[in-house]
């Protein structure tokens, strides 16, 4: 008789979010790592908002198997998620660089575009370094194109891109297994959301258009939304 134990295909390592939600001591160490008390509210928002892109909350206080991220084309597991995020950051950094160089922005708007662009470049550098630290190869920077017609259209597109970026990070948070990777995603997500809030206000949209809890976006939805910006 064969006494070997069969491995359940769903018996996989819990995600970082699931572990942090169920283990107070692990959560305390994590919050200290990402910024102490100030990070607690941000993590709480992550925990409340993470889930399917139909608005369902799928993060529970029980450990759960690692969920599929939909980013396998960029690599497996956390490396795939990181390279997916890196690709989005390449796009954002390139957008702000081209917008600033277009000659269509003026005064404070131009200054803010340059500042936001610097933030995105720092995100690129941080994500590339994290991929390399995990033994992976950073995704290649794609060639991009953006419809830059005038200042108003650029601001509208910037708001779209930043809201999408924030939703993209939220869409992957409950699939990340390494707590250091989750901490990096959390810190970048908050900046993307602040960018989005500023731009929403400038173009006359609600600062938080989705209300009290942001909605995550799946990788397939995000990639479909940015497809027209990628030349190759």
Q: Is the dihedral of CA 53, 57, 61, 63 positive or negative?
A: negative
Supply the range of the domain harboring residue 195: 69-229
pLDDT of 220: 96
Residue 88 belongs to a domain: yes
26 found inside a domain: no
pLDDT confidence tier of residue 60, bands split at 50, 70 and 90 = very low
> Residue 58 domain-assigned?
no
**Residue 34 in domain:** no
On the question of pLDDT at 72 being above 50, the answer is yes
> 65 or 23: which carries more pLDDT confidence?
23
**Mean pLDDT, residues 50-62 taken together:** 42
**Per-residue pLDDT tens for 185-197?**
988 999 999 999 9
The pair of structure tokens assigned to 5 is: 């134990």
Residue 7 located in a structural domain: no
CB 65 within 8 A of CB 11: yes
Residue 110 lies in a domain: yes
Cα–Cα dist 166/195, whole Å: 9
Query: Is 197 among the domain residues?
Result: yes
Domain count for the chain: 1
Confidence of residue 38 (pLDDT cuts 50, 70, 90): very low
pLDDT higher than threshold 90 for residue 65 = no
Q: For position 103, which CATH number holds?
A: 1.20.1260.10
The secondary structure of residue 231, as a DSSP letter, is -
Q: How far is CA 163 from CA 2, 159, 176, 222, in A?
A: 54, 6, 21, 11
């Amino acid at each position: 008789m064969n006494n070997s134990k069969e491995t359940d295909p769903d018996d996989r390592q819990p995600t970082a979010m699931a572990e942090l939600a169920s283990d107070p001591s692990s959560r305390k160490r994590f919050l200290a790592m990402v910024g102490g008390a100030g990070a607690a509210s941000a993590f709480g928002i992550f925990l409340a908002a993470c889930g399917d892109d139909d608005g369902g909350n799928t993060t529970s206080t029980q450990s759960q198997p690692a969920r599929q991220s939909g980013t396998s084309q960029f690599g497996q597991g956390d490396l795939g998620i990181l390279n997916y995020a890196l690709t989005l950051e390449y796009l954002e950094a390139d957008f702000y660089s081209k917008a600033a160089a277009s000659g269509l922005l003026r005064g404070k708007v131009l200054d803010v575009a340059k500042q936001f662009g610097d933030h995105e470049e720092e995100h690129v550098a941080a994500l590339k370094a994290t991929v390399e630290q995990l033994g992976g190869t950073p995704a290649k920077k794609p060639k991009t194109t953006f419809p830059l017609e005038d200042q108003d259209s650029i601001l509208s597109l910037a708001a779209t891109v930043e809201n999408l970026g924030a939703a993209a990070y939220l869409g992957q948070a409950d699939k990340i297994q390494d707590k250091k990777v989750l901490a990096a995603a959390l810190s970048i997500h908050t900046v993307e959301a602040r960018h989005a809030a500023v731009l929403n206000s400038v173009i006359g949209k609600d600062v938080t258009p989705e209300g009290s809890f942001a909605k995550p976006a799946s990788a397939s939805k995000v990639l479909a939304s940015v497809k027209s910006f990628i030349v190759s």
